[in-house]
Amino acid sequence: MDNDVDGTLNEKITDLAYDVHSYGQPTIGWTEDIKNLKLEEMIEFYNTYYAPNNATLVIVGNFDKKQTMKWIDQYYGGMSSSQIPPLSVPQEPSQQKPKTVTIRRTDIDVEKGMYAFHATPYPHPDTPPLELLAEILFNGEGARLYKQMIIDEEIATSLGAYLPHFEDAALFEISVSIKFLFSNLASIFLNSLL
């Protein structure tokens, strides 16, 4: 993440958005976590979670079912299951006020921003409308804000929105690379939506 601006933005916004839920942490942990891992901990984690009872095998194509089942049994049949502890994920409290963070970097030539709103888990009845909103306003040349900000007014170089399909409540994320300071960006979004 140190040399990936978009990755840094994503890491910072999820850390800021979640107070107690593990979604606020990178999948493999923070750099400090990784540096402090002990070999025994890694082996224990591997033996617990990388087991047949916690795996999915997908086979696609024109294959012989009997031979494939023999290979699966040959290569996976001898592996023993593991005791996977029950998952305990804390419930994220409702956010009561906006949170912001500013990152100053000299290694990029455009201003970048990311907005995130607590949204829904997947599946949820609100998921399809949010995905439709992302397509109508942000994603692709036919999207309204994309057309206005990138094609017509030429004030942005990229724009997009995304709702991940997570088991627990995810973030509806909007990202933009813009050609001038962000102090003007909020008013552009507001004016575009009105």
Residue 62 is given by DSSP the state S
Q: 41-95 pLDDT, tens per residue?
A: 999 999 999 999 999 999 999 999 999 999 999 998 999 999 999 989 999 999 9
- Give the 3-state secondary structure of residue 158: strand
- Give the 3-state secondary structure of residue 163: coil
- Identify the pLDDT of residue 3: 75
How much of the chain exceeds pLDDT 90, in percent? 74
Over range 1-7, report the average pLDDT: 78
State the Cα–Cα distance between residues 98 and 118, nearest whole angstrom: 11
For the chain, the structural domain boundaries read: 22-88, 93-193
Class for the domain spanning 93-193: alpha beta
Q: 119-152 pLDDT, tens per residue?
A: 999 999 999 999 999 999 999 999 999 999 999 9
Answer yes or no: is pLDDT of 184 > 90.
Answer: no
Contact 127, 164 (CB under 8 A): no
Lowest mean pLDDT among 20-24, 25-29, 131-135: 25-29
Residues 6+ apart with CB under 8 A from 94: 118
Over range 108-119, report the average pLDDT: 90
pTM: 0.77
